[in-house]
A and B are shown apart, each in its own frame.
Chain A
Amino acid sequence: MDIDRYERLWIFLSAAVLIGLMLALTYSIYGLDIRLIGDAGQVDPATVTQRPPFNQPGVYEEGPGRYRVVMVARAWSFQPAEVRVPAGADVTFQVTSLDVIHGFRVPYTTINQMIVPGQVSEIRYRFIEPGEHSLFCHEYCGVGHHVMEGRIIVEPAATPATAD
């Protein structure tokens, strides 16, 4: 098999670039710990709304600066539709779908997730700045897909709670 000199050089360069990219990707995952969502467990779609945590969607404070947002997606809304969390807090979204596959996207963040019935999507994020974010479905889920949205309101970092 005769291969031209320049062609051989090009092949080596191509392979080197691709191997370099593979190494960079592997480093970003196992070195920098950039994780994609993995397997956060399954739920029984038939009884999901009767059992914790998805029987009571809402925002829960789990500790100082730690919040858990339990959410269900269904055609064509998120419940709760409005989420309030303080800036700087570690927020874990725990989301499942009650009907078809939906999407979960907060623009200009890395919150970008599929929501699948029977599966739990767990997303961690820290909103640094106070402000308001849109949240919308980005997977086709029927005729009302484009109106399926929610809102995330990031409030200024909480002042120490006054006793009541």
Chain B
Amino acid sequence: MNPQLHPQPPTDDAPARDLSELYRADSLHIRCFIYISFVLLALGGVFGTLQALDKMQVDLYRFLPGNLQLYYMGLTAHGVVLALLFTGTFIIGFLSLAVVHGLRRPLADRGLAWATLAVAVTGTVALLITIFRNQATVLFTFYAPLKAHPGFYAGLVLVALATWMAALNAWLTWRAWKREHPRERTPLMALAALCTWAMWFLASLGLAVALLVYLLPWSLGDKAQVNHLLTRALFWFTGHPLVYFWLLPAYLSWYTMLPAQVGGRLFSESLARLVFLLFVVLATPTGLHHMFVDPGVAHRFKVLHGIMTYAVIFPSLVTAFTVVASVEEGARRRGGRGYIMWLLALPWLSNPSVAGQLLAMLIFATGGITGLINSSLNMNLIVHNTLWVVGHLHTQVAGAVTLTFMAVSYWLVPLLSGRELWGRKWAVFQVWSWFFGIAIMARGMHWMGLASAPRRTFLTYAPYAERFGEWHWGGVLTAAGGVIMFVSGGVFLFIMLRTIFGRRLAEPVTVPEAQPLMEPGPMPRWLDRISPWFALGLALSTAAWLPSLWRMAAEYPTMPGFRLW
């Protein structure tokens, strides 16, 4: 047996028409996911803007009708809709396309794809109904013993199930491809998508246990008590790697698509593979850093997770080199010169899809640094549960991830809808304004957080807020950034709407796919197989989590439920 796998024989770039023929088979359900994600982005964004204004003590809630006046209900909607539903639906759609294009074959089971959509929509509707009827004002972290309506937990189960179904479909597609191509290595784009799903499957086991074994039976009345510290820990088992579930599709675009968009090539395919595989191993044994100041969690496991969180930064540092080097290669082919000035050869003002992703990377770098601070347990004592953490989270999700998704949409929606992108100049304005909006807002939040302002708090009516003069200007920046993002988000949705109902494309659009810079030679088998990495990740996660979880499950006191809203 040859231990080395050979690359796919170079396809003499299949004509665009053949590729659009390929996409057509799965285009409709992918389109449904992407369009639903846009609707969710609009819904969640409105509440975000109201919350940003609250930080400078402007209360717009009182002008709203009915339940919409409730700050914490809106806050729950904002978190659930954006952090779980917008990201989840966009990612399912985008990764499906990456698998289809990467393997050059339609999804293995189209019926399963439609069932995935049905389950995701049912879960989303259940969540929205319970939240907007004010039956689940428990925020997106739903810490027990706050007890929501069973429909809320059932909705979460369905949404999680939909992600597993999408993962299964990707895996089935890969298996069918592998049968046809036993001696070829999996193309990078498909491997990146499969790694994302493998990482997420491992990570989401915590959430599945929390919901199915504890929270859902408890909310249905089958169990009177809940082990609240255990379900909180299980939430963070999934809750931290959830960030990598958002991030890896953005990485997929930065590694395998963006270099082609700037006319460059991927600097190192082997390292790109290694990065995605490392996330499968390192993403999950980190989540206790969200519980650094919890009682009842042994100190040594807090230290262990803090150190593991440093380790998971390693693949991101590798990314910083490889992706920038790939982009630089493109810039030099476009005529860029010098050590730094090559940056000017990039289409900052002419290509919204490229500009948006480059700006997303800039924001992401700042979030990486604040993330290091959060995981340092000594410094965490200053910032834990303050608006600083909210600033960090928003640089990563609203900045790096959402801005990349918007930028990707500028070629993805024309591809799926067969319509021409409307208003390219507006799109350039949109990505820049979003970039400045998030930068200003995050600056305000970090500032307030360092001055001890609590997160997730209705500050307009907090009696102590007036004693902290230092919060004022941070609040003004937070609100200003939030309003800029509101406008920018509105422009994005308007562009999407005009595109979807716009002029037909003259020439079909295809997925940009970067070719490797170095001659793709044989590659060790361990860079082509996910299962050993998954096993390693499972072993590490078990070692890092099981002792704490076991003790909580066996010994810790339980509580009845409370509805305090």
A134 touching B467 in the complex, CB below 8 Å, given contacts A7-B271, A10-B321, A145-B72:
yes
A7 touches B461 (CB 8 A): no
Interface residue? A112 (CB, 8 A): yes
Mask: chain A, 112-146; 1 = CB below 8 Å from B; 0 = not: 11111111111000000000001011111111111
Determine the residue in chain B with the shortest Cβ distance to A95. B295
Mask: chain B, 290-330; 1 = CB below 8 Å from A; 0 = not: 01111111110011001100110110011001100100000
Mask: chain A, 19-30; 1 = CB below 8 Å from B; 0 = not: 001100110110
A101 touches B314 (CB 8 A): no
A7 touches B322 (CB 8 A): yes
A100 touching B321 in the complex, CB below 8 Å, given contacts A44-B557, A113-B293:
no
A143 touching B293 in the complex, CB below 8 Å, given contacts A105-B454, A107-B451, A138-B386:
no
Interface residue? A39 (CB, 8 A): yes
Determine how close the nearest CB of chain A comes to the CB of B529; give it in whole angstroms: 15
The interface residues of chain A lying within 8 Å CB-to-CB of B325 are 4, 6-7
Interface residue? B562 (CB, 8 A): yes
B296 touches A42 (CB 8 A): yes
A22 touches B310 (CB 8 A): yes
B467 touches A117 (CB 8 A): no
The interface residues of chain B lying within 8 Å CB-to-CB of A107 are 451-452, 468
Determine how close the nearest CB of chain B comes to the CB of A38; give it in whole angstroms: 4
Which A residues between 1 and 15 are near B, CB-CB below 8 angstroms? 1-4, 6-7, 10-11, 14-15
The interface residues of chain A lying within 8 Å CB-to-CB of B558 are 45, 118
Stretch at the interface among B337-345, B377-385, B407-415: B377-385
* Total number of B residues with any Cβ neighbor in A under 8 Å: 73
Interface residue? A34 (CB, 8 A): yes
A3 touching B557 in the complex, CB below 8 Å, given contacts A39-B295, A107-B452, A112-B293:
no
Interface residue? B366 (CB, 8 A): no
Complex CA–CA separation, A134 to B463 (angstroms): 10
Q: How many A-B residue pairs have CB under 8 A?
A: 203
Residue among A6, A39, A43 with the most chain B CB within 10 A?
A: A39
Complex CA–CA separation, A42 to B464 (angstroms): 31
The interface residues of chain B lying within 8 Å CB-to-CB of A25 are 303, 306-307, 310, 376-378
Interface residue? A18 (CB, 8 A): yes
Complex CA–CA separation, A139 to B384 (angstroms): 10
The interface residues of chain B lying within 8 Å CB-to-CB of A108 are 451-452
Complex CA–CA separation, A68 to B559 (angstroms): 27
A117 touches B317 (CB 8 A): no
Determine how close the nearest CB of chain A comes to the CB of B524; give it in whole angstroms: 6
The interface residues of chain A lying within 8 Å CB-to-CB of B378 are 25, 28-29, 34
Interface residue? B564 (CB, 8 A): yes
Complex CA–CA separation, A112 to B382 (angstroms): 7
Determine how close the nearest CB of chain B comes to the CB of A46; give it in whole angstroms: 8
A147 touches B463 (CB 8 A): yes
Query: Of A4, A28, A29, A45, which contacts B267 at CB under 8 A?
Result: A4
A117 touches B557 (CB 8 A): yes
A99 touches B562 (CB 8 A): yes
Complex CA–CA separation, A100 to B462 (angstroms): 20
B562 touches A101 (CB 8 A): no
Query: Of B75, B297, B306, B314, which contacts A39 at CB under 8 A?
Result: B297
Query: Of A22, A45, A142, which contacts B559 at CB under 8 A?
Result: A45
Query: Of B303, B317, B385, which contacts A139 at CB under 8 A?
Result: B385
The interface residues of chain B lying within 8 Å CB-to-CB of A18 are 310-311, 313-314, 317
A140 touching B270 in the complex, CB below 8 Å, given contacts A2-B518, A39-B295, A100-B145:
no
A114 touches B295 (CB 8 A): yes
A143 touching B565 in the complex, CB below 8 Å, given contacts A34-B378, A108-B452, A116-B294:
yes
B295 touches A138 (CB 8 A): no
A138 touching B454 in the complex, CB below 8 Å, given contacts A18-B310, A112-B384:
yes
Mask: chain B, 437-452; 1 = CB below 8 Å from A; 0 = not: 0000000000000011
Mask: chain B, 340-363; 1 = CB below 8 Å from A; 0 = not: 000000000000000000000000
Complex CA–CA separation, A144 to B146 (angstroms): 14
Interface residue? B126 (CB, 8 A): no
Complex A-B: 23 CB contacts under 8 Å: A2-B268, A2-B270, A2-B518, A3-B271, A7-B325, A10-B317, A11-B317, A18-B317, A25-B310, A38-B295, A42-B296, A45-B558, A101-B146, A114-B293, A117-B228, A117-B559, A118-B296, A118-B556, A119-B557, A134-B467, A140-B456, A142-B565, A149-B463
* Known interface pairs A26-B307, A36-B293; 8 further A-B residue pairs with C-beta atoms within 8 A, sorted by A's residue number: A6-B321, A18-B311, A35-B299, A112-B381, A112-B384, A121-B295, A147-B461, A147-B463
Residues of B within 8 A of A (CB): 70, 72, 75, 137, 139, 143, 145-146, 228-229, 232, 267-268, 270-271, 291-299, 302-303, 306-307, 310-311, 313-314, 317-318, 321-322, 325, 372, 376-378, 381-382, 384-386, 451-452, 454-459, 461-464, 467-468, 518, 521, 523-524, 527, 555-559, 562, 564-565
